[in-house]
Structure 1
Amino acid sequence: MNYFAKIKNLNENLEQEVTLDINGVVFTAFIDICPYEIKEGQRYPVSIGFTMIHDLRVRLNANRLKELERVGEAYMYVIRGIVREGFIDAGLHIIDEDGYLDNYPEVMGKYAEMKVDRLGVEFL
């Protein structure tokens, strides 16, 4: 799903880091694709995905939460939401471009949580 995101912060020291606000959900991500110049305070169309460096672990979440929770000051996030085919609905649709969730058919259509190494954003 595509969203219009407001850029809250562009990291001067790490060119690919961006903090976005989408409908009140603020998170820090890495810029995967950006075919044009972007500026703080402006809104742009984006899609959101995630990157895995370590093994993905997905488990059912009885709390029925939809949220993105940053792990400390690291780039890792715990994503909580309903698993759908090709994405997890955490209040925002986080796309599973690499099909990691296909390995967890037992959580399809259910509330689950997973820890990802970082969130990625594509400017459309």
Structure 2
Amino acid sequence: MNKYNALVKTIDDAVEEEVTLSLNGFEITCFIGICPYQLQEGKEYPVSFELMIFDDYLVEESHEIRSSLERIDNSFSYWITGKLEGGTICSLISFEDEVLLSDFFYLDGEFIRLKANRIDVEFLTE
């Protein structure tokens, strides 16, 4: 599990599990999976992230040699581009997933593009 420190930018009024975070110079909108305390906008918290893929994995070799996270419309879904290293896609945030290792081992060492249905955030107690 990779740990990060993220600043809470906004907590959505309509969808209470939706939070927009700022870290490493970019913003990401996530689904709050676990949060053992009350969040406050403008405060920084330790977090970890998990990919949520509900159906088949949509993975392709990328023609771009750069890391990116692109939000799809106004949803929780993202296109994630990064280098596949074992079971980890190394992007602006690194995500570990056993399926990447077992089913996409032939792309190891390459830049890939992966569609995530959502990115869950866990707020850590340290």
TM-score, structure 1 normalization:
0.92
Correspondence list, 1:23-102, <5 A? 23-96=24-97, 99-102=98-101
- 2-structure distance, mates of 1:44, 1:81: 25
In structure 2, runs of 5+ residues without a counterpart are none
Matched, 1:114 2:114: yes
Task: Tell me by how many angstroms 1:10 deviates.
Answer: 0.4
> What residue identity is the alignment partner of 1:85?
G
Deviation at 1:92? Answer: 1.6
> SS of 2:30's equivalent?
strand
Q: Flag structure 1 segments of 5+ consecutive residues without an equivalent.
A: none
CA contact 1:48–1:95 (8 Å) conserved in 2: no
Q: Secondary structure at the match of 2:81?
A: strand
Residue by residue, what CA displacement relative to the aligned partner does 1:18-72 show, whole Å, maximum 9, x if unpaired?
0000111101000111111111100000011110112111111121120100111
Cα root mean square deviation, aligned: 1.2
Aligned residues: percent identity? 34
